[in-house]
Structure 1
Amino acid sequence: MFSATFPKEIQRLAQDFLDNYIFLAVGRVGSTSENITQKIVWVSEDDKRSFLLDILNAAGLDRATEANKDDKMAMGVPPRREESLTLVFVETKKGADALEEFLYRHGYPVTSIHGDRSQREREDALRVFRSGQCPILVATAVAARGLDIPHVKHVINFDLPSDIEEYVHRIGRTGRMGNLGLATSFFNDKNRNMVRDLVELLQEAKQELPKWLEAIASEARFGGGGGRGRAGAKRFGGGFGSRDYRQADRNKGPHTAGPARPGGGFNSFGGAAPHFNHYGGYGGFSGSQGYNSYNTSGASGTDWWGGN
């Protein structure tokens, strides 16, 4: 069983079918790779579509740009290829259809996928997306898990999910297999319930933390609001599956829900995270032409299992 997040419910499922299994964690379970540059921007509901158009225009994903690719080649500018795909997440199936129609009417090669589509329609949408024929895919949470397309360069959370676990799965569609990726999320008052978990995740991954987002998190902390993930569990305290649930606190006895595996019940492979610099944003993902330039460094020496 493999997962970016491993809540206790899924661990219990493993125990139902496996005997004395090994819990193997690489890095921090439930966290994100530093290969993914995360950008959080404040966008009101009424401005989301125009903001999305600005991002797609900056990336040169409109049909007019594609039609002029021969001229660009003559000027020494490489055309857009299937190696630069954009995945846009929305909250509802109706919203996915509406946003696809909106982008199509504005001249963007786009397709969509959601739970009401037949298997054939889903396969067709993924085929034209992978090939670069439609380099923009609008999707609901149905595409947040199990979708392994190596050239997704940009994930856009047009609608943020309601919990941080879903956010981790969504942005994990980019930055795969050692590649760099960009994840942009539109945040507004509707998303205050996940602000504290989001801030913790950004800090953990050494990402840029907007001052306004930090201020909202502080308000939530002192005001008692702002959510706390599933069932109010502290992130990285076990709610995300950050440790083998059979493994009790080091100062306590074994967990009564299942036998503890000799040697601790899990193994952990460490090592420094990849280092990358000057990763561009919306302007073609390179250099200072983009929305911003980012500098990120390697992992800290933290013991993810609660030690020193």
Structure 2
Amino acid sequence: MSKHTLQDVEVEATIPRKKSKKEKKNKKSKLQNDDSGVSTPVQDEEVVASDVVEEKPKKEKEKKDKKDKKEKKEKKERKKRDTEQSGEDGDDSEPKSKKGKKDKKKKKRDAEDDAEANGTSNGHANAEGAIAEVVNASEPSTTTTGQYQQTSALAAVPQAEITSFLNTHQITVTDPLSDKPLRPIMQFSQLPSSALISKNPFTCFKEPTPIQAASWPFGLSGRDIVGVAETGSGKTMGFGLPLVTAVLGMPKTKGPGRIRAVVVSPTRELAMQTNEQLSKLGELVGLNTVCVYGGASKDDQRALLRKGDIIVATPGRLKDFLEEGAIKLDNAKFVVLDEADRMLDKGFEDDIKQILSACPRKEGRQTLMYTATWPQSVQALASTFMVSPVKIQIGGNPSGDLQANARIEQRVEVVDPRVKEQRLLQLLKAQPRNERVLVFCLYKKEATRVETFLRQRGGLKVTGIHGDLKQEQRTRSLEAFKKGETPVLVATDVAARGLDIPEVKLVINCTFPLTIEDYVHRIGRTGRAGKTGLAITLFTEHDKSHSGELVNILKAAGQPVPNELLKFGTTVKKKTHGTYGAFFKDVDMSQKGTKITFD
């Protein structure tokens, strides 16, 4: 109580002093009025006015100085009294004095902040911000923030060895932002250290494949990529490593917007296969990967989405979940289109646009597209979804023209359509027992008929996979074929893209596909991971519109062209539709049909 009364006394003591100043001002003004009676009053008034203007700032300075002196004296007196009271009251006065100091410091900080906000120190603040930015830019960034640092092991590799590696594997890198592309990661030991790499995820592999070696540096540096490589070249792991690394560097969120990366695949089986590979990487670092596709329970998938960090999906089911609000892609800053040429074709184009519009803008996300075929028809559309993408082409095909896997031996037999199935049975019986053979048909009904024919007439162990089957049956058939329990699989083009089925020695095209791109993907189910394979195509007169395209593919791969095929001609007809080829007819659905009346 004594402390408060002393302060009050001091405040009261200062009040009469302020009145005395006012009296001084009044006296000075009176003196000036008395002097105004002298001759030349106009000039004297001007001089007095100027003197008053000059004296005002001096007086204000004197006031401030006096106030500062008084405040200092009061502080000293308070400190003395506090020390005197501390001897009597002990430590009770110390927290009070500390609180007073803290309050004063806070007031000063607030005053400084207000001054900066009002523009009094904007120049200084901007300078500090610029310095901070320069410092941050000079600091070495880690791979978890999306920035790539070349390791010392990779930097020590001679340039001649890098050039030899690129030439040997026919790697062409086109970077619109730099003339000197990043060095390929030729060994797993050259990968930058990260939480994922510390878990040794590649112990069962000898070295990276060419598409992985060339794309990893750009993927880890946050760049958009178009990766074009032959079938069976390891494209999934090419985007899998940068994807998991990028997700680890993103902040976690809860609710429907917790998904941080999206992989879109054209078929259910490919989505399941991709999910299996990505989940192995994600489990090492505590990330959950969820696979959603049609033909399965929505409720089960909806429950899995609540815990997912990475989603692998087919376009239709993903669009359904977006429309019902079960999932949000606002935080999905890493997007992959697997089999990108199929994803950007007219069949999926609208779905992909809707999915990408739900993700952050292309400037705020990383977009990767991987495929084995990259036709001109989709390149322009792909560029609208990406920012200065790096194009990585594997194989002696820098122009991006369609090209088949050179390790696959291609045979074309021109046959009568009426004996096609009999010839198929002969080819299958000529194969060694229990050797896996994949037979492709064009239509679902045809696949069912061929499957029944081979089982009943040929006595072969056959299973099928096509769109008319339930998803459980499709999955069961594919697993039986992969394990070797059923050596022959009859399938439509749902099994043509991306599926990695080990030990497939032979692919037979019972019916030619609608497009030449699908032909390349079909035969790519064999000759995977550096192995060789055989593809036999039964070509009939009904397929003659594709003869020119097929001849070009055979010649480009150095394969023999039968004379019977050349008889159909070598001209390449313009493709009416990317998916349906010459069978597509553009119909205006807005027009009403005309009524026909009969007499």
TM range (shorter): 0.5 to 0.7
Per the alignment, residue 32 of structure 1 pairs with: 404
Q: 2:505 aligns with which of 153, 174, 183?
A: 153
Cα displacement string for residues 165-209 of structure 1 (whole angstroms, at most 9, x for unaligned residues):
111111111111111111000011101101011111101101011
Q: Which has the higher contact order (CA 8 A, sep 6+)?
A: 1
State the alpha-carbon separation in 2 of the partners of residues 16 and 115 from structure 1. 32
Per the alignment, residue 172 of structure 1 pairs with: 524
Deviation at 1:4, TM superposition (A): 0.9
Q: Is the 8 A contact 1:150 1:177 kept in 2?
A: no
State the alpha-carbon separation in 2 of the partners of residues 232 and 10 from structure 1. 12
Matched, 1:23 2:391: yes
Deviation at 1:231, TM superposition (A): 4.5
Unaligned runs of 5+ in 1: 62-79, 222-226, 234-308
State the alpha-carbon separation in 1 of the partners of residues 577 and 449 from structure 2. 34
Cα displacement string for residues 223-242 of structure 1 (whole angstroms, at most 9, x for unaligned residues):
xxxx4252499xxxxxxxxx
Per the alignment, residue 449 of structure 2 pairs with: 98
1:104-143 → structure 2 map (5 Å cutoff): 104-105=455-456, 106-143=458-495
State the alpha-carbon separation in 2 of the partners of residues 202 and 9 from structure 1. 22
Deviation at 1:139, TM superposition (A): 0.5
Q: 2:559 aligns with which of 188, 207, 210?
A: 207
State the alpha-carbon separation in 1 of the partners of residues 567 and 464 from structure 2. 35
State the alpha-carbon separation in 1 of the partners of residues 506 and 419 from structure 2. 20
What is the percent sequence identity of the aligned residues? 40
State the alpha-carbon separation in 2 of the partners of residues 171 and 153 from structure 1. 11
State the alpha-carbon separation in 2 of the partners of residues 59 and 156 from structure 1. 12
Q: 2:422 aligns with which of 34, 44, 50?
A: 50
Q: 2:538 aligns with which of 182, 186, 197?
A: 186
Classify 1:229/1:168 alpha carbon distance in 2 versus 1 (closer, same or farther; 3 Å). Answer: farther
Q: Which AA in structure 2 matches 1:93?
A: K
Equivalent position SS for 2:529: coil
Matched, 1:4 2:4: no
Matched, 1:230 2:575: yes
Higher helix share: 2
Per the alignment, residue 287 of structure 1 pairs with: none
State the alpha-carbon separation in 2 of the partners of residues 231 and 41 from structure 1. 26
Matched, 1:195 2:547: yes
Q: Which AA in structure 2 matches 1:50?
A: Q
Q: Is the 8 A contact 1:38 1:202 kept in 2?
A: yes
Cα displacement string for residues 32-91 of structure 1 (whole angstroms, at most 9, x for unaligned residues):
122100000011111111111111111144xxxxxxxxxxxxxxxxxx4xxx31110011
Per the alignment, residue 14 of structure 1 pairs with: 382
State the alpha-carbon separation in 2 of the partners of residues 125 and 12 from structure 1. 38
Q: Is the 8 A contact 1:197 1:229 kept in 2?
A: no
Equivalent position SS for 2:567: helix
State the alpha-carbon separation in 1 of the partners of residues 549 and 481 from structure 2. 31
Aligned Cα RMSD in Å? 1.9
Q: TM-score if structure 2 supplies the norm length?
A: 0.33
Higher strand share: 1
Q: TM-score if structure 1 supplies the norm length?
A: 0.63
